[in-house]
A and B are shown apart, each in its own frame.
Chain A
């Protein structure tokens, strides 16, 4: 696969980084619950096994993608990015407009801990195995979205490395911060990050789908940020139009 233009590589790294932060924070909350309740050995084992499965998936899929014609790949990946990106953006708009509640990492941490305690109380055997499996599940399930985004934004540009580096940097950043504070990372403005990722994935989706259909965009290096700005403006305006007044406003 050839080198990528900086105008596409930089947004690919940024999108993979931010999307990975969102997903890794969610996985970290569950791993933290496991570690706090059953110790760090099963938590670390489950996490490493999950990362191994995801790494194998990338190692298997990455080389296969280089055999698919780029235009066909861009069309398929562009459509998938549009579906996922518009879906993320729709949810972020609804959360921003208070139509659906914000993601609450503290509540998820408490729920996971109580769920694991229930399981432990009911089954007195293989407790570490159950704890490890819980961490493994969380890493694999949240990691799938990261793998999809890395493959999608990377393969569409013809090179997986920039997006993979963005995702890896996010994992290391969350692990570094998480291992220091050892609490759910509740202060991360998750919805704003999801809004940003939704905007970028939708912009990439329009770009790749168009190129896959044979559309030659004017000023190819500039058109991606233009799409992103358009999605951001329309998304922000939509959220403002449907925003529900907060309960405090009536007090």
Chain B
């Protein structure tokens, strides 16, 4: 179990280390995908970049608040 378990844990940790961040990225990409059919090239691209930055900042602040609450 330890070898396969370790590999599985490493892979899951890579992609699901922060499940909320992963979910938010998937939702953002789906929304941009839908938008890219109807809007021009600039708007979906800008939303993708700004959305990723927003997800990153939210995840860092959320973890920092959690850390402060545990102190």
Residues of A within 8 A of B (CB): 79-80, 82-84, 86-87, 89-91, 93-94, 97, 99-100, 137, 140-141, 144-145, 148, 202, 205-206, 209-210, 213-217, 227, 230-231, 234-235, 238-239, 241-242, 244
Q: Which residues of the other chain, A, contact B15 by a CB distance below 8 angstroms? A: 80, 83-84
On whether the beta carbons of A234 and B3 are closer than 8 Å, the reply is no
Q: Is there contact, CB below 8 Å, between A94 and B64?
A: yes
Set of chain B residues within 8 Å of A241, measured between Cβ atoms: 61
Chain A nearest CB from B12 CB (Å) reads 11
Residue of B nearest to A96 (CB): B60
- Smallest CB gap from B54: residue in A: A234
Please give 8 more A-B residue pairs, beta carbons under 8 A apart, in addition to A90-B60, A91-B17: A83-B22, A86-B52, A94-B60, A100-B67, A141-B6, A144-B10, A213-B29, A238-B61
User: What's the dominant secondary structure at chain A's contact region?
Assistant: helix
Residues of B within 8 A of A239 (CB): 60
A–B pairs, 24, beta carbons within 8 Å: A79-B29, A83-B21, A83-B25, A86-B21, A87-B14, A87-B22, A90-B56, A90-B63, A97-B64, A99-B67, A144-B11, A145-B10, A202-B52, A209-B32, A213-B29, A213-B36, A215-B41, A217-B45, A230-B49, A231-B56, A238-B61, A239-B60, A241-B61, A242-B61
Distance to closest chain B CB from A79 (angstroms): 6
Q: Given the complex of chains A and B, what is the CA–CA distance between A82 and B52 in angstroms?
A: 8
Report if A215-B56 is in contact (Cβ < 8 Å); known contacts: A87-B17, A99-B64, A141-B7: no
Which interface class (under 10, 10 to 19, 20 to 34, 35 or more) fits B?
Answer: 20 to 34
Q: Which residues of B contact A227 (CB under 8 A)?
A: 49
* B56 close to A202 (CB less than 8 A): yes
> CB distance A90 to B14 under 8 Å?
no
Which B residues form the contact surface with A (CB < 8 A)?
2-3, 6-7, 10-11, 14-15, 17-18, 21-22, 25-26, 29, 32-33, 36, 41, 44-45, 48-49, 52-53, 55-57, 59-61, 63-64, 67
Question: Which residue in A80, A84, A214, A234 is a CB contact (below 8 Å) of B56?
Answer: A234
Known: A97-B64, A234-B53. A216 touches B41 (CB 8 A): yes
Looking at the assembled complex, report how far the CB atom of B35 sits from the nearest CB atom of chain A, in whole angstroms.
Answer: 9
CB distance from B19 to the nearest CB of A (A): 10
A148 to B10, CA, bound (A): 12
Minimal beta-carbon separation of A243 from chain B (angstroms): 9
Q: Which residues of B contact A90 (CB under 8 A)?
A: 18, 21, 56, 59-60, 63
